[in-house]
Structure 1
C-alpha cells in the first residue's frame, strides 16, 4: 500500500463508532488544516478508534491520497492514535523507528510515519474516542507549545461535535413536530368530515320534524336537538381552524377597513342576547377621524366575536363594554372587551389560552365548548402581529385587551385630492364600480377572483396590497390608461 502527500486534499466525515464514512463535513477539515499549517506537518488527522471494527477511522484528514484517501481508515495495528486513546495522554514520538513500542508498527514501513504528535480527542460526553495528531516523514522535536496548540484544537473539535449533535437533535425534533402537526391536522380534518356528515342529516331531519310536530313536548325536544347540533357544528368549525393553523394553511391577508365599523357590526349582533339577559352592552371608539387599518378584517372580527360572545354568555348582571382606543406606546390600536361576569382565578387565567382548557367545570357546563376558542383567538391575534392579554377577579369582572401594531392609513391630503368625489374609507372595484370597505372579500364573493387574479387582469402592481392610498394610486393609473 503506497502513501503519497497532497497539499490540496482534505476530507472529513461525521461518523459514529462503527458507522461508514459516507458524508463529508468540511467543518472538521478546518481544524486539521490549521493543525497541519501551524505544526508545519504534511499530515494531520482527527481519528476515532473503532475497537469493534478493529480499525482507526479518519473523521477528518489533511494530506492523504491513494488507498488511504479511498478507505479513510486503517487497521488498529497501524494506529498510533490508539495509544493516545488508551493512555488518555498526549503522545510525542520523535522517531518511530527507535521508539520502544512503536518501532514494530507497520505504519513506519508502509506509510513512512516517523515523527508523530497526538493529543486526546473527546466526545461531547467527555469520553476519549480518538486523537488529533500531526505526522511527519522525518524525525521531529515536538515541544510543549506544540502540545498546547493541538490540545486547544482538539477541544474545538469536541465543541464542534457537540454542536453537530445538537443540530441533529434540533432537526430531528423539528421533523417529529412537523409530522405530529401534520398527523393531528389530518386527524382533525377527517374527524370533522365524519362529524359533519351525520350532523347534516340530523339537522335536516330536525328541521322537517319542527315543521310537522304539533305536540308542545315534542317541539321542545326538537329544539333541544337543534341547539345541540348547532353546538357540535361550532366545535367542528373550531377543529377545522385548529387544523389550518397547525399546518400553516391558514392565511392572514391585510385589507383596508374602518375598524370602528367592523367591531361595531359585531357588537350589534349581540344586542338581542344582552337585552334578553337584562345586561347593558355598549360600544365606544376614541379614534380620531375615520382612520383605515390594514389587518385581516375577517379574522379580527371572528376574534372579537368569540370574546364578546363569551362575555355576554358568562355575564348574568351588570354590563359588557367594548372600547377601541389608540395605543400611543405601540403606535397602534387597543380593543378592550370588559364584563361584570363570573370572573376567573389565577389558576384559570394561567390555562385560559391553552388548547382544550375549559374556563372551569361549572362555567363549561353553563356555556359549553371544548376550550379551543381562546387558543384560536390567541393564535389568530399573534398571526396578525398583535398580542392579547386578560385580567380578571373571581365573581367581579374580566377584561380582555387586544393590542395591534398599527398599519394605519389616515388618508392624507394626497389621497383626498385623488378621490375628492369618494368617501375617504371606501375603495372602488374595477370590475363593477361598486364602493366598499373590504375589497378582497368583495372580489371573492361577488366576482370569484383572488387578489392575484384581480391584479393580473387589470395589470396592477403585484407587490402592492389592494388597500387605501396604494390601491387608489394604482386605480388612478388604470383610469388614465382606459
Structure 2
C-alpha cells in the first residue's frame, strides 16, 4: 500500500471520553500479562516480524501493555513519548495505519521512532474498548522495508479482536464483582437488621415478662393473698368473693391490654377506639381516633396487631414521658418502595422529643424496649418509622408498614 502524500502532524489525543475509557480499562502502568504477551508472540511468528506491540495511547505517551522484540531501554521502560509513536495515528483516525518504509513516508518520516527505535515498516490496527473507544493499537514492526499484504492486516485484526474480547471479559467480571459486592453488602445489612431485631425482640419479651411479673406480684397476687387470709381468719364469704371478683377483673384487664378481643373479632379501628377510651380512663389522656374503616378491615392480622401495639406503646409514652393531656391516632393509606402500605400516626400535645443532633430522632430516654422492639420489627419487614416534634408543639410518630401484594 503506497503512503499517502499528506503530512500528519502529531495529533493531540485528548478526548475526555476516550481517556476515561482508557483509565477504566485498568491497563496503563500495569505489569505484563500472559493474556496479551501470548498474542504479541503469535504476531511475530505468524507475520515473521521482530517486534509486535499492544500499545495504549494517552494524551502524552504510549504505554506498551505487551511488547516483544523492543530494544533497550524501551523494553524495560515499556513506554515512549508521543514523539516516538506511530500508534497515535491509529487512535486519531480510528483506522489501520500501514507504512512500508517510514524513512520515505511523509506521514512519519520525522517521527523519533524511526531514528531511535529503528522502526522502518509498520502495520497497526485499532484496539477497541467495550464502549467503542479506541484505546491504542495492536501493531507489528519490521526493521526493513516491507509490503504488508491483506492477509497480514487480517491477522492483526483478529489478534486485536482477541485482545478486545479480553477487555470485554474483564469489564464484565469487574461489573459482576461490583454487583456481587453490592449484593453482599445488602445481605449483610439485612442480616444485621434481623440480628438486631431478634435481640430487640428478646429484650422486649424479657421486659414484658418483667412487667407481667410485677403486675402479678404487686396486684393480682396481693388480691389472692387477701382472699386466702380472709378465709383463714374465718371472714365473711362476701369479702372473699369481693377479692376474687377483683382478681378476675384484674386478669381480664391484663389480657385485654395485651390483646383485646375486639381486635381479633372486629378489627383495628374498634380496637383503637377501645384503647383510646382505656387510656383516657386510666391515664387521663383524651384520645381521638380516625381510622380508614375499609383499610382497617382489610389489614392482615399481624399488621393490625403491630399497629395496635405501636399505638398502645406510644400512648403509654405520652402519659409517662411527654406530660400530654391529649393525643390523636390516625390510620390511613401510604406507600413504600415495594408497593402499598398502611400508616399509623400518633400526635400529642406534650413536651415533644429530646432530639439528638446527629439523627434528629428521639433520645434513648424517649424510647423504652417496647418501642425499640417495634421499630426494629417494622424496619425488618421493609417499613419505616419517623419520630419528631410536631410543628405546633408536642410529638409525632409515623409508622408505615408494607401491605402484602394480591
Give the TM-score of the pair, scaled to structure 1. 0.43
Report the structure number with the largest CA radius of gyration.
Answer: 2
Give the TM-score of the pair, scaled to structure 2. 0.50
Q: Larger RCO: Structure 1 or Structure 2 (Cα < 8 Å, ≥ 6 residues apart)?
A: 2
